[in-house]
């Protein structure tokens, strides 16, 4: 997608030999567009846990590339298999909710261990990582194509007005390799000449909406309005939201979906106001080993300081200030689960499907 008119992906191998990875450090957006080089698997693991890269699809892609770096490192170890396995475990532990991370690491580990020599393993790792990343990119593009008819139908009902979409968190291209998941149908609609306006939830406490979604929509020239997290219900009651589209970090076999904390409340408000609530996700975000998302999906808990303090941009650069009193205890659950019954449809690379076991099974047939 575009950054000041120039096309970027969120992640790439920096050099021809694939010794290092280049990422956009998302902690600095929208105030600074900073590229960072990661040269070891440990650096990639840190970048994932500290959210320099974030979003389900992107952390899967980062881990896949990171496992290539781990394969090179393993060649210098006494026990390369153990090194690869231990590194894979560290990747998976970096963030627990998005299943794309474990999915990507498992695929890479399986591919690497087939090789007999360090050179062969490196070639296998490169091939598997590139295939995975390219497939994710294509999946996101197709999510856009498959979601487009939903926006087109709403636009055709009232052609003089823009389609008002509400989204939560950042499930944009910054959360993927390109296109995004929730944003892909929005970008496709914009490209097709459909007028779209996006309500962007700020998404406390990390503010992915305020920092990232608003920025990337602006870069693509898509009209949008930032709103405080609790605004969506009011907008829906007043007919100001035509549909919600959100991303997903893990979907179960019966269609329960985990996404950024606060998604569930938007789904409840959407149900009460007859607003369609769509979840956009590639097949890599399904965890078919799970059924009951509320009981079974692991929910990441992050540091209390993300809630009690806030970081913003000043003339002196980034500054962190206290929001709550210094002794206020805080809890920071990163994700919540929206039960399948609140989901109008799942927009995937294979088409739009109902959030139920039978239809989901057919997607994987
Ligand atoms: O904590 P984050 O920023 O990684 O959470 C991101 C989300 O919740 C996205 O909506 C989700 O990953 C889907 S986007 C591919």
41-66 residue pLDDT tens: 999 999 999 999 999 999 999 999 99
Q: Is the pLDDT of residue 127 over 90?
A: yes
Local confidence band at 183 (pLDDT 50, 70, 90 cut-offs): very high
- Which atom of ligand 1 is nearest the CA belonging to 58? 15
**Cβ(258) – ligand 1 distance below 6 Å:** no
How remote is the CA of residue 109 from the centroid of ligand 1, in Å? Answer: 24
What number is the average pLDDT over the span 95-112? 98
How remote is the CA of residue 299 from the centroid of ligand 1, in Å? Answer: 13
**Which candidate, 36, 31, 33, 29, places its Cα nearest to that of 12?**
36
**Cβ(338) – ligand 1 distance below 6 Å:** no
**Cβ(139) – ligand 1 distance below 6 Å:** no
What is the distance between the alpha carbons of residues 267 and 107, in angstroms, rounded to a whole number? 33
How remote is the CA of residue 168 from the centroid of ligand 1, in Å? Answer: 9
The residue assigned the tokens 């990875």 is 21
The residue assigned the tokens 């960072």 is 36
Q: Is the pLDDT of residue 9 over 80?
A: yes
How confident is the model at residue 185, as a pLDDT? 98
**Cβ(94) – ligand 1 distance below 6 Å:** no
Say which of 229, 249, 287, 336 is annotated catalytic.
249
Contacts of 105 (CB under 8 A, 6+ apart): 63, 64, 67, 88, 91, 92
How remote is the CA of residue 246 from the centroid of ligand 1, in Å? Answer: 9
Residue owning the nearest CA to atom 5 of ligand 1: 55
249 is catalytic: yes
What is the distance between the alpha carbons of residues 53 and 217, in angstroms, rounded to a whole number? 18
Contacts of 238 (CB under 8 A, 6+ apart): none
pTM of this structure: 0.97
């Amino acid at each position: 997608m575009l950054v000041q008119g120039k096309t970027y992906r969120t992640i790439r191998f920096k050099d021809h030999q694939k010794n290092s990875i280049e990422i956009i450090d998302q902690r600095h957006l929208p105030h600074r567009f900073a590229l960072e080089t990661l040269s070891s698997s440990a650096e990639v693991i840190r970048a994932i846990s500290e959210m320099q890269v974030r979003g389900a699809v992107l952390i899967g892609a980062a881990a896949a590339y990171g496992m290539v770096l781990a394969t090179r490192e393993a060649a210098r170890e006494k026990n390369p298999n153990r090194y690869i396995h231990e590194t894979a475990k560290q990747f998976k532990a970096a963030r627990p909710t998005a299943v794309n991370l474990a999915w990507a690491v498992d695929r890479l580990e399986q591919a690497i261990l087939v090789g007999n020599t360090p050179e062969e393993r490196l070639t296998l790792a490169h091939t598997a990582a590139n295939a995975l990343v390219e497939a994710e990119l294509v999946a996101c593009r197709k999510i856009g194509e498959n979601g487009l008819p939903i926006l087109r139908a709403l636009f055709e009902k009232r052609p003089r007005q823009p389609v008002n979409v509400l989204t939560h968190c950042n499930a944009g291209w910054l959360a993927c390799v390109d296109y995004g998941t929730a944003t892909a149908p929005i970008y496709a609609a914009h490209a097709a000449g459909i007028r779209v306006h996006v309500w962007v939830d700020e998404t406390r406490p990390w503010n992915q909406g305020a920092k990232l979604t608003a920025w990337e929509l602006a870069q693509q020239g898509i009209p949008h309005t930032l709103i405080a997290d609790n605004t969506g219900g009011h907008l829906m009651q007043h007919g100001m939201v035509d549909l919600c589209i959100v991303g997903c970090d893990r979907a179960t076999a019966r269609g329960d979906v985990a996404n950024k904390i606060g998604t569930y409340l938007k789904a409840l408000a959407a149900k009460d106001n007859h607003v369609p609530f769509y979840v956009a996700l590639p097949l890599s975000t399904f965890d078919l080993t799970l059924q009951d998302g509320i009981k079974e999906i692991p929910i990441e808990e992050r540091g209390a300081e993300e809630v009690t303090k806030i970081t913003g941009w000043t003339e002196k650069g980034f500054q962190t200030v206290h929001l709550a009193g210094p002794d206020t205890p805080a809890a920071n659950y990163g994700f919540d689960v929206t039960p399948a019954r609140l989901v109008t449809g799942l927009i995937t690379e294979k088409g739009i499907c109902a959030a139920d076991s039978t239809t989901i099974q057919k997607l994987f047939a």
